[in-house]
Amino acid sequence: MKINYIEIAEHYLSKIVTSNYYLQSNPVKEIELLYPGFKALLNKLRFNFPVQFAYTETYRSNTLQKQYYSQGLSKIKTNGMHHYGIAADLIFIIDGQRTYKGPFDKLHTAYESVGGPDLGSLENWDAGHLQFIPVVEQNRLREEVNAAVLRFQRKQGLKIDGIIGPNTIAAAKKFYS
């Protein structure tokens, strides 16, 4: 599958940075902030997978990511894949009950068969986690997003520092509304 990194970065700026969820520290379970290509992949997976599942977390703010990091729940301090709207954590629903005792091994095979990337070793320590891009491309995406933020700041006459502070958020809300 061809991945359009610039489009993911554009989605981040236009839909996520401008969202009311952007800074909030509660886990988001809705799929509305997810990148459309990823959402489509998850829907395909849901259609093809014999076991029902629900999302425990989709988008994640950097505030919450830092909390997870300090609690040892995540190895990433900021800008994880959840933050860009291209990751989701799943729990199975079996006999009407939410459970982590389900076919995670089959989940990843099914995800790949509908077009998702091979998530490699990530499957072992974060079994319910699915993401849109391969792990080796994560830094490429971060660079692409950073470049998009700098371009936006330059165009908008803001301080060009790559930091998404109040001024950049306000400008994005205005520009993309």
How many positions of this chain bind Zn ion (CB under 5 A)? Answer: 2
Binding track, positions 14-53, relative to Zn ion; x by CB under 5 A: ----------------------------------------
Q: Nearer Cβ to Zn ion, position 17 or 119?
A: 119
CB 33 within 8 A of CB 23: no
Looking at 34-42, 48-56, 127-135, 155-163, which segment touches Zn ion (CB under 5 A)? 127-135
89 binds Zn ion (CB under 5 A): yes
Relative orientation angle of helices 104-113 and 36-48, to the nearest 10 degrees: 120
Which of 129, 144, 145, 171 is close enough to bind Zn ion by CB under 5 A? 129
CB 51 within 8 A of CB 92: yes
Looking at 65-73, 98-106, 122-130, 140-148, which segment touches Zn ion (CB under 5 A)? 122-130
Reported as half-sphere exposure (CB side, CA atoms, 13 A), residue 91 has a value of 11
Q: Nearer Cβ to Zn ion, position 73 or 95?
A: 73
Going by C-beta distance under 8 Å and a sequence separation of 6 or more, which residues neighbour residue 35? 7, 8, 11, 84, 85, 86, 132
Q: How many residues does the chain have?
A: 177
60 binds Zn ion (CB under 5 A): no
- Output the smallest distance, CB 143 to Zn ion, in A: 21
